[in-house]
Amino acid sequence: MVLRTGERTVFGEMASKLAKSRPPTAFQKGIKRISLMFAGVTLVMLPLVLVLSGLIQRDWLQAFLFAISVAVGLTPDMLPMIVNTNLARGSAVMAREKTIVKRLDAISNLGSIDILCTDKTGTLTRNQVALMKGVDISGNNSLRVVEFAFLNSTFQTGLKNLLDEAVINYYEGILC
């Protein structure tokens, strides 16, 4: 017996909530202000360094190249702060959704996932996860998806978890 379909299902409600765009939060506005400040500092430093270096060296081409190198050199110095600020923002968003983030770099890994389908049945009772099949974006069975998952699970640099072991066991079972 079908009780609900489409947007009236739990998944439909979640999809419609996720599709709505939210106004920027104070944190997002702060990130934008900090990024604009960094860009402003770079734009102020560039002509300042150019003029000072040009007046001191009397070689305006060398002064220009030095100013550009200073501007380019500032960008990587600011990058870790920008990345960590964005990861902290992601942690705050996930906390509002009642998700605890232990390590900020986990947010980056989570953000790189396109689709993750998992069923935790058996994980708590048997401490095992089993991969049943790999499907492509159209929902068709796909050995290529399983091969890519196998390569990722086999050659990743982090610790292997139950999902990695399930992918490896599934792929090795196909080969036998």
pLDDT in tens, 94-111: 888 887 777 777 776 776
Q: Last residue of a domain, which of 85, 111, 137?
A: 111
Q: Last residue of a domain, which of 111, 131, 146?
A: 111
| CA atoms within 13 Å, Cβ hemisphere of 100 | 1
Mark 163-173 as b/e (b = at least 16 C-beta within 10 Å): ebebbbbbbee
Confidence (pTM): 0.36
**Cα 46 versus chain centre, distance:** 31
Q: Give me the catalytic one of 77, 105, 114, 119.
A: 119
More confident residue, 103 or 137: 137
- Listed ranges 63-77, 81-95, 112-126, 143-157; the one with the highest mean pLDDT: 143-157
Give the DSSP H or E segment for 153. helix 143-155
Say whether both 144 and 169 belong to one domain: yes
**Residue 149 belongs to what domain range?**
123-175
Q: Last residue of a domain, which of 81, 111, 141?
A: 111
pLDDT at 160: 78
Say whether both 107 and 42 belong to one domain: yes
Distance CA 166, CA 89 (A): 32
pLDDT in tens, 40-62: 888 888 888 888 888 888 888 88
Alpha helix ranges (H) inside 1-122: 10-19, 26-57, 60-96, 105-111
Q: Is residue 6 part of a domain?
A: no
Average pLDDT over residues 143-149: 92
pLDDT at 25: 65
Report which of 78, 75, 74 is spatially closest to residue 86, judged by C-alpha positions: 78
Interior CA angle at 133 toward 143 and 15, to 5°?
A: 110
Is 119 catalytic? The answer is yes
